[in-house]
Structure 1
Amino acid sequence: MNSSLPRLRLSVLDQSVAVAGRGQDEAIRQTLSLAQHAESLGYDRFWVSEHHSHPSIVGTAPEVLMAAIAARTHRIRLGSAGVMLPHYAPLKVAEQFRVLDALAPGRIDLGVGRAPGSDGRTAQLLNPDRYASENFPQHVMELQAWVTGQPLPPSHPGHNVFAYPLSDTSPDVWMLGSSDYGAQLAAHLGLPYAFAWFITDGQGADHALRLYRETFRPSERLAQPKATVCIWALAADTEEEAWRLFESRARWRMDRNLGRIGPMLPPEQALRDYSVSEQLALAEMKEKAFVGTAAVVAAKLNQLAERLQVQEMVVITWTHDPQAQRHSYELLAQAFALTP
């Protein structure tokens, strides 16, 4: 990596993934344990996601999970990646995150996204307004005002309405995205931006980040563009072990492409007869994957960080065995010399 660039910082995104043979409630408790472990290893942030009616990803309420993590940690920043804003009233989201900031002052990231995090029918049950996503930019601006304690203009229905409790600190609002839309909106509003590389396998990342930087407008909270990417990565003691663990994720991806979504299988049960087209897709997936020993994964992450000109990456890791997941984060912490 170019020595003139700052040392790459690492953070964690966890989705509370359901695994075969264990209860979904255990996945939530594993997320709590992983957050404490990430703090002890020196990771900068710990983000949790929001999905609904998803048999694989059971983290449905990031604000609740963040409160539990806040009570068990002291330093690490905590965030949502993200709150799917079209489902909710911005005022209520602001209130929830103002409370979180009171529990963990100066440690809260409020990542927001426009995607439903669910299927269309579930999204409509969460919010019957089919056109809610069209108001996303307006709702983000309202959320910003209420989160930071800034008054809305007299012409706005929310004028003189505040999200309490107010304090000396407030959450940082992040824009999450996997396309140009989020990058442009983040730039227009002067927000930090996180690109979901793990969703697109990197497709569109270079363009979105370039667009974000070129069109960025400074805001009161952010004078310069601030971007990160969320990467799926897995490290193990040996290449062989890393790719063995990867079989669980590979099987999940191949099944998902066929509309079969369920808990992640252990590696020894993950292998099946793949069709020719699946074999080609799997080969491409492995070629792009950030999988291997810590040295191999770290080299790939550093190379990508230099290409994208980012100083932080958020790592997401799925394994059937929670100990393998913890060990992967340990190995990467060592490789990047993270300081607890």
Structure 2
Amino acid sequence: MRLSVLDQSVACAGRGQDAAIRQTVALAEHCERFGYARFWLSEHHSLPTIVGTAPEVLMAAIAARTARIRIGSAGVMLPHYSAFKVAEQFRVLDALAPGRIDLGVGRAPGADHRTSLLLNPDPRAADHFPQQVRELHAWVMGEDLPEGHAGRGIHAHPRAATAPQLWMLGSSGYGAQLAGHFGMPYSFAHFITDGEGCADALELYRHMFRPGLVERPLANVCVWALAADSEEEAWRLFASRERARVDRQTGRFGPLLPPEEAARPYTEAEEAFRRNLRSRAMVGTGEQVVQKLRALAESLEIEELVVITWTWDAQAQRRSYELIAQAAGLPAA
């Protein structure tokens, strides 16, 4: 089983949001030492919980501090931007870290409607997503666009012997179908849906797949997991994430709370959601978590899982990735 990392630069109560950005860079260095294959970064806007707003900037900082691990966006919310500008940014990143850059793109806004309109005033921007993906691929790979296209003869620089690997991200059947149609690698956001629709999306992707960017279906799944030195400690740390997930159901967003401050009275519906969340959670010792991860990978017939972990304590987050890597037998540097 191949393991990778997704980090979202989560804000934590009692610390400045800028600390979350620096902790993400430190975490990337840590995960490289413990043998993870990729380190991906998400994009969200005007959200007090997740403050990673510019993955391409963070990727440059991480590229300067690492030597082996692949670095990627998970992802760039393409409808907000010019595909040509995104291609240029990622060609620069590939020049900084040749052959180590993943360009994950998604259609979701990663923001509320008002914020989305500030990023791109066109309310129908997402309708052009498939065309943007085609353009982005051509510019990233140094291929020309079709006759009659306004961008024909225009090239994204710097050009080199390597190029970013394009990924389609999704949490529904739409992205799966598009990834299959274009022959792209596909990543399903299991942590967003708590697994709902994951198996169906992967099946749809494989069914729709035709050779394109890759010759055969290539998929991974982003899943939430947390390990600690004891099962009791892992569940204690999980209280911060648990509170954030329950709050999100009713539109409450804020910095991640310490475990000791996370408890609050829940309504009957919230309590039912909390119990369901716990029953599915990949929480425990390193060995327990890896056992659950392996079972998921086998059931979905995939070779790679991308692990996302939220903890209020940055050291606990780093320890979680360390324990999972050791239990999985990853090749530490």
TM-score grouping bracket, smaller chain normalisation: over 0.9
Deviations 1:186-222 (A, max 9, x none): 0000100000000001111111101111110001x31
SS in 2 for 1:207: helix
**CA deviation after TM superposition for structure 1 residue 258, in Å:** 2.0
Asked if residue 17 in structure 1 is aligned to residue 10 in structure 2, the reply is yes
**CA deviation after TM superposition for structure 1 residue 50, in Å:** 0.3
Asked if residue 70 in structure 1 is aligned to residue 70 in structure 2, the reply is no
Q: State the alpha-carbon separation in 1 of the partners of residues 214 and 252 from structure 2.
A: 42
Q: State the alpha-carbon separation in 2 of the partners of residues 186 and 278 from structure 1.
A: 35
Q: State the alpha-carbon separation in 2 of the partners of residues 43 and 144 from structure 1.
A: 26
**CA deviation after TM superposition for structure 1 residue 153, in Å:** 1.4
Q: State the alpha-carbon separation in 2 of the partners of residues 282 and 120 from structure 1.
A: 28
Q: How does 1:1-340 map to 2 (within 5 A)?
A: 8-219=1-212, 221-340=213-332
Runs of 4+ more than 2 Å apart = none
Q: State the alpha-carbon separation in 2 of the partners of residues 256 and 167 from structure 1.
A: 43
Q: State the alpha-carbon separation in 2 of the partners of residues 74 and 293 from structure 1.
A: 29
Which amino acid counterpart does residue 148 of structure 2 have in structure 1? S
Deviations 1:233-273 (A, max 9, x none): 00011111000000001111111222210000000000111
- How many residues are treated as equivalent by the alignment? 332
Q: State the alpha-carbon separation in 1 of the partners of residues 178 and 251 from structure 2.
A: 32
Identity across aligned pairs (percent)?
A: 66
List gaps (5 residues or longer) in structure 1: 1-7
**CA deviation after TM superposition for structure 1 residue 32, in Å:** 0.2
SS in 2 for 1:248: helix
Further displaced range: 275-284 or 65-74: 275-284
Which amino acid counterpart does residue 226 of structure 2 have in structure 1? L
**CA deviation after TM superposition for structure 1 residue 274, in Å:** 1.3
Q: State the alpha-carbon separation in 1 of the partners of residues 304 and 111 from structure 2.
A: 28
Q: State the alpha-carbon separation in 2 of the partners of residues 153 and 54 from structure 1.
A: 39
Which amino acid counterpart does residue 113 of structure 1 have in structure 2? G
Q: State the alpha-carbon separation in 2 of the partners of residues 189 and 257 from structure 1.
A: 34
List gaps (5 residues or longer) in structure 2: none
Structure 2 residue aligned with 1:4: none
Which amino acid counterpart does residue 14 of structure 1 have in structure 2? D
Kindly report the root-mean-square deviation, in angstroms, between the aligned alpha carbons of the 2 structures: 0.6
With normalisation by structure 2, the TM-score equals: 0.99
**CA deviation after TM superposition for structure 1 residue 161, in Å:** 0.1
Q: State the alpha-carbon separation in 2 of the partners of residues 96 and 125 from structure 1.
A: 21
SS in 1 for 2:51: coil
Q: State the alpha-carbon separation in 2 of the partners of residues 60 and 291 from structure 1.
A: 28
With normalisation by structure 1, the TM-score equals: 0.97
Q: State the alpha-carbon separation in 2 of the partners of residues 206 and 277 from structure 1.
A: 26
Q: State the alpha-carbon separation in 2 of the partners of residues 32 and 130 from structure 1.
A: 34
